[in-house]
Amino acid sequence: MESSTKTAKTCTWWESGVIYQVYPRSFQDSNGDGVGDLEGVRKRLDYIASLGVDAVWLSPIYPSPMADFGYDVADYCDIDPMFGELAAFDALLADAHAKGLKVLLDFVPNHTSIEHPWFRESRSSRDNPKRDWYIWANAAPDGGPPNNWTSDMGGSSWEFDPTTNQFYLHAFLKEQADLNWRNPQVREAMTNVLKFWFDRGVDGFRIDVLWHCFKAENYPDNPLNPDWISTQGEKLKVFQKHSADQPEIHQLSADFRALADGYGERLLVGEICLPVPQLMTYYGTEASPGVHLPFNFQLLDAPWNAEALGKMITEYEAALPPSGWPNWVIGSHDAPRIAGRLGETQARVAAMLLLTLRGTPTLYQGDELGIGKVDIPPDRVRDPQDLRQPGLGLGRDPSRTPMAWDSCRFAGFSAAEPWLPLHGDWGMRNVAAQQGDPASMLELYRALLKLRREHEALSLGSFALLHAAGDVLIYERYQKDRLVIALNLGAEVQNIPDYGATTLLLATTGASMFSNTLAPNEGVILQRLNY
């Protein structure tokens, strides 16, 4: 099996670090309105620090009509009253820093809310100075939308606006109008947004749908997807050849990067959902680097067998540019819960995989409790993606349910009924119940994070794939020491090769002895001796 010997040349906090995603609506409510807020996050910082992560990424907290729960921003330089105010953010940032945690915000450059003053102006008349800040086009000759582009949330990407008799573009909801990044004033205004937060002390940004920011000029039709079936949702009806991933995005990424680097060791993580070859281009070049970490989402839907995972990991490693640092994601507010997909015991193996691969891991709140499948009663569905295209399984609410802190009413999340229901087994599956229980998912995460911190081989070391067949995936991480990670992805006992004298550092099953046999759904980290 091919092996990779790439090692880190330098070590920034984010190369050796681990990111923890907080979805603020669902983390901790402090004012009893059933929705999480910044003061709630601040109160839970000790918990976050106790996990052993390095940075918190907060999903959007800006003023917003919440059509897409904050990804429809109405003011980039303030805080939505639902979450608090700027002073609450400053307090959170200061406390996080005092606890050694970095804070990343979510930057949403592709679109604003249609309630943003910029869009209100833009839509008011064709000759408004901000008209060109957004993307307006005339109807097609038949009177319909200007082209065949489909929104990721279903339906056309174009919304007719009767005030000025033109359509505006929205890659997502019609409440989220796409900005025109070809307009230098948009660049300047949004650059000022980044400066506003960097000056306040934030440590970086996760950049929402970065690859969407530029569209081909003149908006040609996208090629039709011949294999599309309606149950896939309308996003996949066409290939987004002209509506996303345009060459101009790379100069913009490089400009963002130069700005961030000018502030010192700040981090830009780009949300880019593209196949690996295109994804790699978002690292930029040596001369013109792009974002530090183009999110690598492959684990979210990778086939769960050793051969496929081994191939995916090796190909990703091999595709990285020389100075490109890898990263891995296994959950988010957009993706189904990993424990729901794999079951709890295998989710423990997945946690070991995530936290022992080479590259910066991003954890999603609640995965450390092993929250699995959640049923959202029809009358409690809130996700616009689900409401617009019901019955297709596109709903994101199950991943956005509130954190469960204890077994008190509403799980210690809020004094009021939460905006989304809790997971069904919250009474047992909560932080208080798992804390201190060595068999719990929470303590497994903590143990993995501790090991990752103790062994530089795990955070920064080289990676070599040793075995990937059937249900057994084995790889090695090495720097000063040499660790072998052996994962059983299935429910049968598996024998693994003899790697000489080893010490068992951690087993997902809690076992304390190891003799070349993996129990069903077991992962182990072994330290090689005398190699």
By CB under 6 A, the count of residues binding ligand NOJ is 9
Q: Which residue number, 271 or 522, has a Cβ lying nearer to ligand NOJ? A: 271
Q: Does 172 bind ligand NOJ (CB under 6 A)?
A: yes
Whether the Cβ atoms of residue 444 and residue 351 lie closer than 8 Å to each other: yes
Smallest distance from ligand NOJ to CB 69, Å: 7
Smallest distance from ligand NOJ to CB 313, Å: 24
Q: Number of helices and strands (H, E) in the chain?
A: 16, 20
Question: The sheet that has 158-161: what strands, in order across it?
Answer: 136-137, 166-169, 158-161
Give the Cα separation of 330 and 51 in Å (integer): 17
Give the Cα separation of 506 and 513 in Å (integer): 10
22: nearest Cα among 71, 61, 52 = 61
Smallest distance from ligand NOJ to CB 208, Å: 5
29, 203, 208, 522: which one is catalytic?
A: 208
Smallest distance from ligand NOJ to CB 212, Å: 8
Give the Cα separation of 499 and 31 in Å (integer): 55
Sign of CA dihedral 164, 167, 172, 173: positive
105: nearest Cα among 71, 58, 64 = 58
- Contact pattern for ligand NOJ over residues 86 through 125, marking x by CB under 6 A: ----------------------x-----------------
Give the Cα separation of 206 and 208 in Å (integer): 6
496: nearest Cα among 484, 510, 508, 482 = 484
Query: Which residues sit opposite 380 in a β-bridge?
Result: none
Q: Which residue number, 130 or 400, has a Cβ lying nearer to ligand NOJ? A: 400
Give the Cα separation of 159 and 170 in Å (integer): 7
Give the Cα separation of 71 and 105 in Å (integer): 12
Q: Does 71 bind ligand NOJ (CB under 6 A)?
A: yes
Q: Does 234 bind ligand NOJ (CB under 6 A)?
A: no
Give the Cα separation of 304 and 306 in Å (integer): 7
Smallest distance from ligand NOJ to CB 152, Å: 7
Q: Which residue number, 70 or 310, has a Cβ lying nearer to ligand NOJ? A: 70
Whether the Cβ atoms of residue 86 and residue 78 lie closer than 8 Å to each other: yes
Smallest distance from ligand NOJ to CB 110, Å: 7
* Residue 72 falls in the annotated catalytic set: no
408 contacts: CB under 8 Å, gap ≥ 6: none
Smallest distance from ligand NOJ to CB 59, Å: 7
Q: Which residue number, 133 or 405, has a Cβ lying nearer to ligand NOJ? A: 133
- Contact pattern for ligand NOJ over residues 417 through 456, marking x by CB under 6 A: ----------------------------------------
Q: Which residue number, 295 or 410, has a Cβ lying nearer to ligand NOJ? A: 295
Residues 311-340 that bind ligand NOJ (CB under 6 A): 333-334
Give the Cα separation of 285 and 263 in Å (integer): 20
Smallest distance from ligand NOJ to CB 68, Å: 5
271, 367, 383, 522: which one is catalytic?
A: 271
Residue nearest to ligand NOJ (CB): 71
Q: Which residue number, 83 or 514, has a Cβ lying nearer to ligand NOJ? A: 83
Q: Does 68 bind ligand NOJ (CB under 6 A)?
A: yes
Q: Which residue number, 151 or 222, has a Cβ lying nearer to ligand NOJ? A: 151
Task: Name the H helices within 236-393.
Answer: 249-262, 276-280, 298-301, 306-319, 338-342, 344-354, 384-388
Give the Cα separation of 117 and 180 in Å (integer): 15
Q: Does 209 bind ligand NOJ (CB under 6 A)?
A: yes
Q: Which residue number, 334 or 406, has a Cβ lying nearer to ligand NOJ? A: 334
* Residue 221 falls in the annotated catalytic set: no
Active site residues: 208, 271
Which residue ranges make up the site for ligand NOJ (CB under 6 A)? Answer: 68, 71, 108, 172, 208-209, 271, 333-334
